[in-house]
A and B are shown apart, each in its own frame.
Chain A
Amino acid sequence: MKLANLPLYLVGAIVFLWTVIPIYHLFVIALSPAQEAVASGLVPKNPTLQNFDLVLGAKHNLVQHFWSQLGTSLFVAVMVSLITLAIGAAANFAITRIRIRGGRTITNIALLTYLIPAAFLAIPMYKIMGTYGLVDSPWSLIFAMVALASPYAIWVMNQASTKIPYELDEAAKIDGAKTMQVFWHVYLPLMAPTMVAIGTYALLLAWNEYLYAFLMLGTESRLTLAVALGNFLAFDDAPWALLMATGIIYALPPTAIYYAFRRYMVSGLTAGAVKS
């Protein structure tokens, strides 16, 4: 350890603590016995896995629908991911490969939708779901999230697609390929990394969403886990240990997926932002 590096170590220590403390706290509480969730110190005195057992066995009335809520979260996330990919790839192919007229305008409209904060669209979206008769159905959440995710998908795909030489499409066409053959055999294979990034982005966006889910879903057994977690707060003496244990189980899959696809995610995002 060189003394000159001391400021560096100091910054490192602060960054470490800043990052880890809330997560450490999450684990300390989750490992405390339910009745001792009042943190008495930095280390749990009698660490136990009983909260995880309660959640996974759905043995507490607050987590009795845990598995069906997990199922809803998964269903919504997977559907949003697949539909966003399908809509995004189709639109992107039309804009950048077929080069349809007005493609730029469509891109700009998508970008505009992407930039408007989602929270401002939530209430109108919730009201319109009522008129469509979709409230309390997971499809309301799926459509809402697709509407929010596909503009970003189109924007990122547009940037990736411009890097693929157009000569490839032309060569395929000279060989007699129909438009959709170009789509399946030239475009999609080359766009695969971007598709992974967008699919992951949409999956996580839907899994993590709170506001829209909490507005649009009502029946307890059909909530997503995110909303179920928020609902713990409705109780004056919320069982925090149980809440934190559920929160950890809920957070593990998306965090793991994020880390697994980190390289794709980061490059997709930064490619858009760094160019200025």
Chain B
Amino acid sequence: MSALALPAPAQAPKQELSEETFWGIALLVPYFAVFALFVVFPVLYGVWLGSSPGAYRKLFQDPVFFTTIVNTVVFLLVAVNLKMFIALGLSGFFLHEARWVRWLSVLFLIAWAAPSIPTILSFRWMLNPEWGMVNTLIFKWFGVEGPGWLTERHYGLGAAIMVHIWKSLPFWTLILLAGRMAIPKELYESAGVDGATRWQAFRYVTWPSMRGLYLTCVLLSTIWSLGDFNSVYLLTGGGPIDSTQVLATLGIRYLRMDQVDVSLAAIIVAMPAVIPIVWFMMKRLSGEHVQR
């Protein structure tokens, strides 16, 4: 049949393709293996372990759970918005070209560059109500007893928020600074010619070009702040009497009490809030990738 003649020329490019395709698949195998063994399986196993209705009953009956939800919402709203607002302002400050500002920006990075455990523990000892440096100095200078920074719920949560901001502020400032530097200088020059004040220049030049980035940062920071375990766990340990727990630390609390199912239930309960943001962010970030 005439088909006999056809396979020969068709074979050659196909074989060339298959060498590439073979490697394409082979090179993806390690990632798939890691992804399956250490992401997919744990997630499925976790969902299975946390699927007993009893676990959710226990969780919802635990008053600590509701304190935790309130704490988490407060933590997110205050920490993320305050941090981003300050970062937006500071990114303008670091735009100055004076040499000392440059040096300060290098130093400023250290909070982000250094591992968080020693610095959080430094905060913890500094804020120790009895022996810490802060209250010692308050007593020395003003002759009054300082507040129980870590032994009182509102101060404790406030301190955790402060530590969180301290750690992540440089990162977001840097991102927003890069955003500001991407704005063409001519826009400011022409705004200056038109007699725009500094506020007007920000309002009509900076903000319109930064809005999208700012929203991206707020959403990303919201997800990541939700997972901030260290700032709370290493500072207050969730105490006093579990009054400063957040969702990131609550799972560990139940794990410690040998209630694995409840600890997973506490995580699964957060998913309806986490997954939509993560999904939205994924679409947003991968969409930008294509646009360039």
Contact = CB atoms under 8 A, between A and B. Distances in A.
Interface of A: 8, 11-12, 15-16, 18-23, 25-26, 28-29, 37-42, 86-88, 90-91, 93-95, 98, 100, 104, 106-113, 115-128, 131-132, 143-144, 146-147, 150, 154, 158-159, 162, 178-180, 183, 204, 207-208, 210-211, 215, 226, 229-230, 232-233, 240, 243-244, 247-248, 250-251, 254-255, 258-259, 262, 266, 269-270, 272-276
B101 interface: yes
B25 interface: yes
Given A23-B119, A29-B122, A207-B115, A121 B43 contact: yes
B118 A8 contact: no
A115 B109 contact: no
A21 B110 CA distance: 12
B292 interface: yes
Interface residues of B, number: 96
B285 A111 contact: yes
A123 B292 CA distance: 38
A207 B118 CA distance: 13
30 contacts: A12-B101, A15-B90, A38-B131, A87-B34, A90-B28, A95-B28, A98-B21, A115-B278, A115-B282, A117-B228, A121-B39, A122-B252, A123-B260, A124-B267, A127-B42, A127-B45, A127-B49, A127-B260, A146-B38, A208-B115, A211-B230, A233-B121, A240-B125, A243-B125, A244-B122, A251-B114, A259-B113, A270-B175, A273-B220, A274-B179
Contact of B137 (A42, A144, A275): A42
Contacts of A229: 117-118, 121
B151 interface: no
Contacts of A208: 115-117
Contact of B289 (A88, A115, A131, A158): A158
A140 B96 CA distance: 46
A127 B252 CA distance: 12
B23 A39 contact: no
B108 A117 contact: no
A147 to B, nearest CB: 4
Nearest to B101: A12
B146 interface: no
B38 to A, nearest CB: 4
Contact of B118 (A180, A204, A211, A250): A250
Contacts of A39: 126, 131-133, 136
Given A11-B93, A123-B46, A124-B45, A20 B113 contact: no
Given A12-B104, A23-B114, A273-B175, A119 B229 contact: yes
A95 B30 CA distance: 13
Nearest to B105: A15
A124 B28 contact: no
A144 B117 contact: no
- Closest 5 pairs between A and B when the two form their complex, measured CB to CB: A117-B227, A247-B118, A124-B46, A147-B38, A100-B24
The majority secondary structure among interface residues of chain A is helix
Contact of A248 (B49, B118, B133, B166): B118
A119 B246 CA distance: 11
B42 A254 contact: no
B62 interface: no
A75 B21 CA distance: 35
A94 B224 contact: no
B22 to A, nearest CB: 8
A8, A116, A143: most-surrounded residue (chain B CB, <10 A) = A116
Given A25-B122, A131-B45, A255-B114, A120 B227 contact: yes
B234 interface: yes
A229 B237 CA distance: 14
A117 B116 contact: no
A100 B21 contact: yes
Given A19-B108, A86-B30, 20 more contacts: A11-B90, A19-B107, A19-B110, A23-B114, A90-B31, A93-B27, A94-B25, A100-B28, A106-B31, A108-B286, A119-B229, A120-B274, A128-B41, A150-B34, A179-B19, A244-B118, A255-B113, A255-B115, A269-B175, A276-B213
B251 A273 contact: no
Contact of A262 (B28, B109, B234, B251): B109
Contacts of A233: 121, 234, 237
Contact of B100 (A12, A109, A210, A275): A12
A112 B278 contact: yes
A211 B229 CA distance: 7
Given A119-B248, A143-B37, A275 B288 contact: yes
